[in-house]
Amino acid sequence: MRFRTVTALTGALALSLVSGCAQGDGSGSSRNTVSYWLWDANQLPAYEACAKGFEKRNPGLDVKISQMGWDDYWTKLTASFIAGTEPDVFTDHIQKFGQFADLKVLEPLDDLGIEDAAYQPGLAASWLGEDGHRYGAPKDWDTVALFYNAKMAKDAGLSAEELNGLAWNPEDGGTFEKAVAHLTVDAKGRRGDEPGFDKDDVKVYGLATGGGGDGDGQTTWSHFAASAGWTYTDKKRWGTEYRYDDDTFQSVIKWYFGLADKGFMAPFTDYSPSNQANAQVAAGKAATAFDGAWMISTYAGFKGLDVATAVNPAGPTGKRATMMNGLADSVTKNADNKPGALKWVKYLASEECQRTVGGYGIVFPATPDGTEAAVAAYEKKGVDVSAFTRPVDDKKAFATFTYPITDYAADVLALMHPAMQDIYGGGKPVGGLDETNEQINLILDQ
């Protein structure tokens, strides 16, 4: 659930920030303490280790870490801004960045000496605001790949080499659609590409559902759209116009959701917070699932199930594509201990902390050395992560792209969430996105 689309800031928050809110007094901070919030329980031990290293180098400064679940995290963070009890430092998500920066709740980090070249390409640049100031220090990164049940693939006669060489197109789906069709099995044992296949009585779907994807489609349709040459907005960052009305995008969406109509992908009704793509694979209800690198340990931990990974299929552009997202650490504008907070964020982005985090084999830290440490840790666990690192290492064969970074991200979500659900689950024509796109661009034009 790490990268599920986050909820909008409430109107009360916007109002309180416009009028100015009191300095935080409930975050647990003091002159000698830095409060730090994160949501990923798996990463907590790694950052506790970083905190020990930081405290050794900064006698008299202590780091107080608070970890909470994804949904609670954003709800409590929103409430803390309203009440003036925000933490000194928090793990930031790129979808929140535009709105947080616009509401001026973030402290500029220009004096920390963050250099783009010290991190994986593009990570540092994503956290520059429209005003040119830096509001996030690179923390980690992830890409998306295809997880698959190795036994099901073997039973279907599909080798790892074949799965890593798939290609697709919006006309007939290419070898990718052929593969998921062959991996699909109905209740009578007939495969999706065999005579008599019953699409209304499927036992195992070739592809798990990850839901409608809202306006970003990170682990659903984004890699297909990008490998067809489409981009979210008119500019790489801080775009002023979305492009959901583009013919290429709509052809991709029509084909992708059409996989469910053919019975090859699980229907929209199969998706829920408790039955995400990984749960469908774990239950044997789906043979494959597109998912992010933050889920590597989850899939690897399924007992009695051998799950392997393959790179995303190549598209009409000839390249394979994946979103490359990265989290950051941000300092709050009204931090109780701002000097300590800035020191802590600088340390979090340092090679020392990045290597420490990498050694836990949970995420890919933002620096190359941190990434190398993570790869080594995964290898020690017997986990092959090359499907996630290849897009970063091989720019000729792979295209990486970021989340759309614009103003009014919450409004885009509010419009695209039901629109994509209507197409996937309600059978609405993709042409309806023309009107949705117009509404979004009117908002951005304010």
Report phi then psi at 398, rounded to 5: -125, 145
CA 77 remoteness from chain centre: 19
Among 7-16, 156-165, 247-256, 401-410, where is mean pLDDT lowest?
A: 7-16
**Rounded average pLDDT over 148-157:** 98
Whether 3 shows a pLDDT value over 60: the answer reads: no
CB atoms within 10 A of CB 437: 21
**Rounded average pLDDT over 208-217:** 98
Whether 294 shows a pLDDT value over 50: the answer reads: yes
| The pLDDT value given to residue 13 | 47
Whether 2 shows a pLDDT value over 80: the answer reads: no
Residue type at 423?
I
- Residue 95's pLDDT band, with cuts at 50, 70 and 90, is confident
Whether 119 shows a pLDDT value over 60: the answer reads: yes
**Rounded average pLDDT over 26-34:** 68
| The pLDDT value given to residue 367 | 97
- Residue 15's pLDDT band, with cuts at 50, 70 and 90, is very low
Name the percent of the chain lying above pLDDT 90: 89
Choice between 10 and 94, residue whose per-residue pLDDT is larger:
94
pTM for the structure as a whole: 0.92
Among 4-18, 345-359, 378-392, where is mean pLDDT lowest?
A: 4-18
**Rounded average pLDDT over 89-105:** 90
Whether 25 shows a pLDDT value over 50: the answer reads: no
Whether 6 shows a pLDDT value over 50: the answer reads: no
| The pLDDT value given to residue 12 | 42
| The pLDDT value given to residue 4 | 36
Average pLDDT, the chain: 93
- Residue 71's pLDDT band, with cuts at 50, 70 and 90, is confident
Kindly report, residue by residue over 331-367, the tens digit of the pLDDT: 999 999 999 999 999 999 999 999 999 999 999 999 9
Name the percent of the chain lying above pLDDT 70: 93
Whether 168 shows a pLDDT value over 80: the answer reads: yes
| The pLDDT value given to residue 30 | 60
